[in-house]
Amino acid sequence: MPETLDDIMTRTSELLTDRDMAALSTLMAELSTTDAVRVLERVDSSRRAVLFRLLPKDEAVAVFERFDATVRGELFESLRSYDVIALFEELDPDDRVELLDELPSNVAHRLLVGLSPDERALTAPMLGYDRRSVGRRMSPEFVRLRTAATAGDALDAVRRTGSNAESVYLLPITDDHRTLLGVVTLADLATAAPSTPVGDLSSDHPVVEADSSAEEAARLCFEHRSPAVVVDSEQRLIGILTLEQSARILEEAEDEDAARAGGSEPLRRPYLSTPVLAIVRSRVVWLLVLALSAILTVQVLEIFEHALAAVVTLALFIPLLTGTGGNTGSQAATTVTRALALGDVRPRDIAAVLFREVRVGATMGAMLGTLGFVIAGLVYDWHLGVVIGTTLLSICTLAATVGGAMPLIAKKIGVDPAVFSTPFISTFCDATGLIVYFLIAKAVLGV
């Protein structure tokens, strides 16, 4: 498969250079959706628009819906307005709403006005919800069942109206006022006797409010391994959050967490088609913040400059000690951030987490400290051994505790816990670790 992709890329390039539109058109029509998405995400944006127009109509919509958000926005701006209007009408409402966020507001407004009344009626209410809420990501098209229906009736309803819905795997049961009474799955309908009332097939499924967090709702869906039913603040049914959409939401969240744990912002498009300056932009702010906060370490060392001048050997261990502190802190922070994301730990569990991390940090510090004492003692002298050993013990305990607490504090004050992971913790551990080191050194060596 990967070999074929390279072949396709080469063939596409050649045909584009030769301007052989007939052959290109055949090639595009033969591609699977996945291959088409990969090829189009890898070419530059002017070529992308050319190739996209050559895709068969249905395929074009399917391919478009699989692009990363930024790629969708760019492509939309480079297509002719006639193609844009037609494509916009064909999109599922949730994809349409996501796309509007990527476009300049005048373009977004014009597109919305140009929609057919039916599609506009589905799309407009979703725009009233916050960008990170379930209301923006749900599918407002679904097949609704009445309590009186049987499994046979329900399957008939699916056959008649199901092809308009984005997903028919979860079917809500409501009364006439759209109040949710239950939920059945298509699998349960299909395996039941046709005369079974749908109420008897109703099963336990997650229900979320439209203005709650999309990421938390997506995690709930995954925990239940099921789509969720979306209701408004009066508990009236307004949509379905599909497993596919949940997967997309979680993928974006993982992208963001992974990027932030490494001290940058997510790219929101394939790496190789991201311009160098966009990559720089995603990283430079974090790097500057971290470098400027690292000036703190320079100031801490300045305070102890006379101790450093007296025993230059002390300088040799600075990277080792700050590095170990940073590593211990980021181990703790990563574990707790992940546990928070999975719902295993909540901010109120902070006392339990601190008690756990103090013991973990002290245990690892005792092991590393003993090793450091012996090595430094043998290579240099036993006084220095005591300094290095005690410093390692203190730094590990401190770093694990702070690293464990930070994500919980971040969550409590409403900041992304992943941000506090690796980079922030290591800056903090560097500065406090150095203070501990030199205080111990002054006490033991008397400098």
182 token code pair = 């239950």
Least distance CB 108 / its own copies (angstroms): 26
The residues, any chain, with a CB within 8 Å of residue 129's CB and separated by 6 or more, are: 135, 136, 210, 211
Q: Which is nearer to its own copies, 150 or 331 (CB)?
A: 331
Q: Which is nearer to its own copies, 295 or 415 (CB)?
A: 295
Residue 233: alpha-carbon gap to chain centroid:
26
- Taking CA atoms, 281 is separated from 265, 274, 276, in Å, by 9, 11, 9
Q: Which is nearer to its own copies, 84 or 369 (CB)?
A: 369
Least distance CB 103 / its own copies (angstroms): 24
Q: Which is nearer to its own copies, 84 or 252 (CB)?
A: 252
Q: Which is nearer to its own copies, 182 or 423 (CB)?
A: 423
Least distance CB 38 / its own copies (angstroms): 8
Q: Are 82 and 89 in contact (CB under 8 A)?
A: no
208 token code pair = 């979320």
Q: How far apart are CA 240 and CA 236, in angstroms?
A: 12
Q: Which is nearer to its own copies, 148 or 291 (CB)?
A: 291
- The H or E element that residue 294 is part of is helix 276-303
Least distance CB 144 / its own copies (angstroms): 15
DSSP string computed for 371-394: HHHHHHHHHS-HHHHHHHHHHHHH
171 DSSP assignment: E
Q: How far apart are CA 35 and CA 109, in angstroms?
A: 33
Q: How far apart are CA 389 and CA 365, in angstroms?
A: 9
Q: Which is nearer to its own copies, 272 or 413 (CB)?
A: 272
Least distance CB 109 / its own copies (angstroms): 30
66 token code pair = 């699989």
Q: Which is nearer to its own copies, 61 or 290 (CB)?
A: 290
Least distance CB 118 / its own copies (angstroms): 19
DSSP string computed for 247-266: HHHHHHHHHHHHHHHTTS--
- Taking CA atoms, 421 is separated from 263, 288, 294, 296, 408, in Å, by 9, 17, 16, 19, 11
Identify the three-state secondary structure at position 146: strand
* Sequence letter at residue 291: A
Least distance CB 55 / its own copies (angstroms): 14
Q: Which is nearer to its own copies, 25 or 196 (CB)?
A: 196
Identify the three-state secondary structure at position 53: helix
DSSP H helical ranges for 150-275: 151-161, 186-191, 198-201, 214-224, 243-261
Least distance CB 241 / its own copies (angstroms): 14
Least distance CB 122 / its own copies (angstroms): 19
